[in-house]
Amino acid sequence: MNAKIEKRPPALFILCFLGVITYISLIFNNNLWVDEAFTACIVRRSFFDMLSATIADTLPPFYNVFAWCVTSVLGFNSVTLKLCSVIPMILLLLWLIPFKVRKHFGYFVSFFFAICVIALPHFLHYGVEIRMYSWALFASTAAGVFCYEAIITGEKASLIPFSLFTILSAATHYYALLCCAPLWVFMFVFCLKNSGQEHSGTALSLRSFILTALLTFVLYIPFMILTVLQLTGANSHFSMQKVSFKVFLADLRFPFVTNFTPLSLILLALFAFVFIVAIYAIFKGDRTLKTYFSVLYASVTYIVLLLSYIISLLRGNNFFTSRYLVPSLGLLWLGVSIGISILYEKDRRFAILIMIPLISLFVIYRQEYVSEYNPGVNAMTAYFDSHLKPGDGYVIYEDKYQIEICMRYYYPDFKKHSWENADEITGDAYYLLVPGFEEFLEEAPSQGYEAEFITDMNFDSYSFGLYKLHR
């Protein structure tokens, strides 16, 4: 099989290159939702103001610092910001998969996993979103691959990238760091079990593991201090749903949600089938590291979910939401890819399973393209670009300040007001009517204004009616 692998790498590189084009095809738009706008507004500030705002937020600093550096060189705009999120997906497709994954797990695994990264739920969405999730996914996946490399080769040099990618995980998202925890536990158990035994020089020593763990902890201390400070005030920032059975079920199925129920069920069935078969194989005596890692990788998502619930219960409030599982999805589908390759080696007919992610691509890409290239944002910006003047302002009432935060990105000088301070608007006054808040527009006459309807506007998942207010 290895001989065949070496003869076929061009197809893998072509697939990965097409994957990069797929990701890049989604970045040429100016359609942002509230979290992206919030991040963009932080990145737009001066360096020290950006750092202050980052520290005041609840997430590690890597993404904001990286995006600030890139936009300082290439210019601040939505395309550059989305490119900052695509870069780790490019590294995943052009480096980690064709070189490291193929080297250690074989051609079939790397080919299947590459299709997963291009086609399965949440990869394209969070791989383009102006947030840290793509970097978190890349870092935790790379940590998983180097964990395997360090164990399978016994090379101390492989512990260095394992340690560094763990730190990068901590610098991107604390749930990415949580993804690395099971990897470290597995490596510790492996080293402990094989301590003092001879394995042809391929086994990691417990001493090497302990030294690497100590070094990693020392490097992590600055991020640990920042995380503690940030999460201390998290109660005022987080508004997650309370943990309930309904929320639990939503979190369980999150990795497979495609907004097309039949496909979601097929993906769930694929994961469950491969996972159960891999566990059964271990109980039947297949104790190879490849099989163990298939189970380990595929388990990380739900280990993170379990730990998150435990932490939330201990804290007395929930600061976990489904999207925090995104950093673990690379490991989950790598584990599934390895499990399918084990089946494929026994029966080549299992290659038909590769059709599932290929079918998923048509569903997922269409959804993402429609979402990213919502034409409403162009109509909105075209109107405001030609009509807004200095001193103009708007009145809005909404839930969670979502459109307001987005407007801070699109038009930072277009200030938000309420009826109480609308008289501070020195230029033209507008009213942004959010569905469900019609009662506040009805107050216009009592506030001394007549509301003239202009048009309905929308961008991303938001919509509002635009009115011009006449005194």
CATH classification at residue 419: 3.40.190
| Of the candidate ranges 190-204, 310-324, 350-364, 420-434, the one whose mean pLDDT is the lowest | 190-204
Q: State the DSSP code for 234.
A: G
- State the average pLDDT over residues 426-451: 97
Report yes or no: 146 and 158 within 8 Å, Cβ to Cβ.
yes
Q: What are the DSSP E strand ranges found in 264-411?
A: 393-397
Reply yes or no on whether the pLDDT at 1 is more than 60: no
Give residue 8's pLDDT.
Answer: 61
Band of the pLDDT at 386, cuts 50, 70, 90? very high
Tens digits of residue pLDDT in 86-124: 999 999 999 999 999 999 999 999 999 999 999 999 999
Q: How far is CA 198 from the centre of its chain?
A: 41
- State the average pLDDT over residues 252-281: 96
Give the residue from 71, 46, 51, 48 showing the smallest Cα distance to 61: 51
Give residue 7's pLDDT.
Answer: 54
Which stretch of DSSP H or E encloses residue 457?
A: strand 450-459
- One domain for residues 123 and 246: yes
- One domain for residues 312 and 437: no
SS3 content of the chain, % helix, strand, coil (to 5): 70, 5, 20
Tens digits of residue pLDDT in 324-364: 999 999 999 999 999 999 999 999 999 999 999 999 999 99
Give residue 238's pLDDT.
Answer: 56
End-of-domain residue from the set 344, 372, 400: 372
- State the average pLDDT over residues 176-180: 97
Reply yes or no on whether the pLDDT at 200 is more than 60: no
Burial of 461 (0-12, 13-18, 19+ CB in 10 A): exposed
End-of-domain residue from the set 347, 372, 397: 372
Q: What is the pTM of this model?
A: 0.94
- One domain for residues 197 and 332: yes
Token reading at 400: 């969670």
Give residue 202's pLDDT.
Answer: 57
CA distance 333 to 405: 34
Band of the pLDDT at 42, cuts 50, 70, 90? very high
> Sheet of 415-417: strands edge to edge?
415-417, 393-397, 429-433, 462-470, 450-459
Give residue 414's pLDDT.
Answer: 97
| Of the candidate ranges 3-7, 57-61, 120-124, 362-366, the one whose mean pLDDT is the lowest | 3-7
Give residue 203's pLDDT.
Answer: 73
Reply yes or no on whether the pLDDT at 3 is more than 50: no
Reply yes or no on whether the pLDDT at 213 is more than 70: yes
- State the average pLDDT over residues 216-220: 97
Give the residue from 306, 52, 78, 73 showing the smallest Cα distance to 179: 306
Reply yes or no on whether the pLDDT at 5 is more than 50: no
Reply yes or no on whether the pLDDT at 201 is more than 70: no
- One domain for residues 380 and 368: no
- One domain for residues 388 and 290: no
| Of the candidate ranges 63-77, 239-253, 266-280, 424-438, the one whose mean pLDDT is the lowest | 239-253
End-of-domain residue from the set 372, 405, 422: 372
Report yes or no: 395 and 468 within 8 Å, Cβ to Cβ.
no
- One domain for residues 368 and 425: no
Q: Which residues constitute the domain of residue 182? A: 2-372
- One domain for residues 333 and 390: no
Give residue 147's pLDDT.
Answer: 97
Cα 20 to Cα 90, 102, 119, 345, 396: the distances in Å are 6, 18, 12, 29, 40
Give residue 4's pLDDT.
Answer: 44
| Of the candidate ranges 83-97, 124-138, 238-252, 446-460, the one whose mean pLDDT is the lowest | 238-252
- One domain for residues 126 and 176: yes
Contacts of 357 (CB under 8 A, 6+ apart): 112, 115, 116, 118, 119, 120
As a whole-number percent, the residues of the chain with pLDDT over 70 amount to 95
- One domain for residues 435 and 410: yes
Q: State the DSSP code for 131.
A: S
Mean of the per-residue pLDDT values for the chain? 93
CA distance 284 to 293: 16
Q: How far is CA 101 from the centre of its chain?
A: 21
- One domain for residues 224 and 355: yes
- State the average pLDDT over residues 5-33: 89
Reply yes or no on whether the pLDDT at 316 is more than 90: no
- One domain for residues 441 and 305: no
Counting the structural domains of the chain, the total is 2
- One domain for residues 201 and 335: yes
- State the average pLDDT over residues 25-52: 97
The highest-confidence range among 30-34, 191-195, 316-320, by mean pLDDT, is 30-34
Give residue 204's pLDDT.
Answer: 85
Band of the pLDDT at 2, cuts 50, 70, 90? very low
Reply yes or no on whether the pLDDT at 30 is more than 50: yes
